[in-house]
Amino acid sequence: MEMELFSAAFFSALFAIILIDLVLAGDNALVIGLVARNLPKHLQRKVIFWGTFGAIAIRVVMTLMVVWILKVPGFMLAGGIALVWIAYKLLSPQSDAGAAHAAAAPAASFAGAIRTIVIADAVMGIDNVLGIGGAAHGSVLLIVLGLAISVPIVVWGSQLVIKLVDRYPSVILLGGAVLAWTGYSMIVREPLVTPWFAEHTSAKLLIAVLVFAIALAPWFTARLPAQLQALVVLLPAVMVWMLAFEVAASVWQVRVDYLLATTTGEYLLEGVRWLGWLPLAAGLLWLRERSTRRNRRLAGG
């Protein structure tokens, strides 16, 4: 998509890229430190320099590759779904923050250290480059600008980022919301499904609610009392139910439209569509309550 330079859309995409880059930034400095800690002093300085260089280079190459891959039909949809999952994982509370760093083992040689750093950065950066690729709308200039602004912040200003998110944790939630919006935009931009969305306009809205219901579920869960937390599962389930009717309408060539039913069959279909989820929801809540009671009984002895 061509974007006018220095327009609101341009700056919005740039801001989204920087925000995604910050909230999904990997802890490169710590990985480099952990990998280089057992090396001789003269090699440590070289490992820090080349490790940082390698991490930046692999990030740039991966981002450009993602922009290219997203042009392949189907990958935009897959990327959008993956971003929704990434947003969900980003917002899920972590009880053992920092424990994952133990995975970075110290290296015995210079080449081994660089290899470990580059592989660690590639693994840590997959979600990041996917988000950036989606937010950039295919513009290489935006990606280069976003990386030029955010990479120095992440590499040399990690303490600044930590201080920012520590003072304002809402930055993470905003990042999650931006990821969800980017995921939604990627799903509806997928060339394979664009004609289908043009015919089923209400499906777009259902997808939007579904995406936000899944991505922001940890937020709702943290805010709702224990007995109402089942509703967090119920909302996406209802959206999937409604979406299934839209899909069925195109597969079986039946008319499922708001208040346009004329025959008995269409009235029945409308009835099942709008009321059929109620018994399912009641069943789901009953099963959940039963399993909770059973678990409580088992825990009690």
Partner 1 sequence: MLLIRRSARAANAVRNMSPGEELFVASVVFCMLLAAFGDAGNPTVLDALGFEFLIADLGGEMSLLAVGHWHLIEFLLGGAILAGVITALQILAAAFLRSLSPAASRGIDKVPIQP
Give residues in contact with partner 1 (CB under 8 A). 8-9, 11-13, 15-16, 23-27, 30-31, 90-91, 93-94, 97-98, 100-101, 103-104, 120, 124, 154, 158, 161-162, 165-166, 168-174, 177-178, 180-181, 184, 188, 201-205, 207-209, 212, 216, 218-219, 221-223, 257-260
CA-CA distance, 80 to 53, in Å (whole number)? 30
Closest CB to partner 1 among residues 197, 285: 197
Give me 223's structure tokens.
């805010």
CA-CA distance, 204 to 135, in Å (whole number)? 19
- The DSSP secondary structure of 248-271, one letter per residue, reads HHHHTT----TT---SHHHHHHHH
CB of 157 to partner 1, least distance (A): 10
Closest CB to partner 1 among residues 15, 53: 15
List all residues 6 or more positions away from 179 whose beta carbon is below 8 Å from its beta carbon: 20, 23, 24, 83, 84, 86, 87, 90, 131, 215
CB of 165 to partner 1, least distance (A): 4
CA-CA distance, 151 to 145, in Å (whole number)? 10
CB of 282 to partner 1, least distance (A): 27
Closest CB to partner 1 among residues 43, 208: 208
CB of 40 to partner 1, least distance (A): 26
Give me 96's structure tokens.
């053992």
Check if the beta carbon of residue 24 is closer than 8 Å to that of residue 131.
yes
CB of 166 to partner 1, least distance (A): 4
* Residue 181: closest CA among 19, 3, 6: 19
CB of 43 to partner 1, least distance (A): 23
CB of 252 to partner 1, least distance (A): 21
Residue 257 one-letter amino acid? D
* Residue 36: closest CA among 27, 23, 46, 22: 46
CB of 9 to partner 1, least distance (A): 5
List all residues 6 or more positions away from 167 whose beta carbon is below 8 Å from its beta carbon: none
What dihedral angle (degrees, nearest 10) is formed by the CA atoms of 189, 191, 194, 195?
Answer: 170
CA-CA distance, 18 to 81, in Å (whole number)? 21
3-state SS assignment for residue 195? helix
